[in-house]
Structure 1
Amino acid sequence: MLLFLVLFFGIGFILNMLLRSTWIMAVVYPLIVVMIVDNVRFYEYVTNPGPAFSDLAARLTGLAVADILILSFGFIGTIIAGIAIRMLRVRGYQMF
Structure 2
Amino acid sequence: MQMSIVVLIISIVLFFVLFFGIGFILNMLLRMSWIMAVIYPFVAIFIIDKVSFIEYFTNSKAAFLDLGHRLGSLATADVLILSSGLAGAIAAGLTIKFLRKNGYQMF
User: How many pairs are equivalent?
Assistant: 96
* Residues 1:71 and 2:82 aligned together: yes
After the TM superposition, which residues 1-96 of structure 1 pair with which residues of structure 2 at under 5 Å, given as runs?
1-96=12-107
Measured in 2, the distance between the counterparts of 1:94 and 1:7 equals 23
Instruction: Provide TM-score, normalisation by structure 1.
Output: 0.98
Q: CA RMSD in A?
A: 0.5
Measured in 2, the distance between the counterparts of 1:8 and 1:79 equals 9
Measured in 2, the distance between the counterparts of 1:10 and 1:3 equals 11
Deviations 1:1-35 (A, max 9, x none): 01111111001000110011000000000010011
Structure 2 segments unaligned to the other structure (5+ residues) = 1-11
Measured in 1, the distance between the counterparts of 2:100 and 2:92 equals 12
Indicate the percent of aligned positions where both proteins have the same amino acid: 61
Which residue identity is paired with 1:15? Answer: L
Measured in 1, the distance between the counterparts of 2:106 and 2:57 equals 37
Instruction: Provide TM-score, normalisation by structure 2.
Output: 0.88
Measured in 2, the distance between the counterparts of 1:38 and 1:5 equals 20
Give the secondary-structure state (helix, strand or coil) at the position aligned to 1:21.
coil
Runs of 4+ deviating beyond 2 Å: none
Deviations 1:45-71 (A, max 9, x none): 011110000000000110000000000
Structure 1 segments unaligned to the other structure (5+ residues) = none
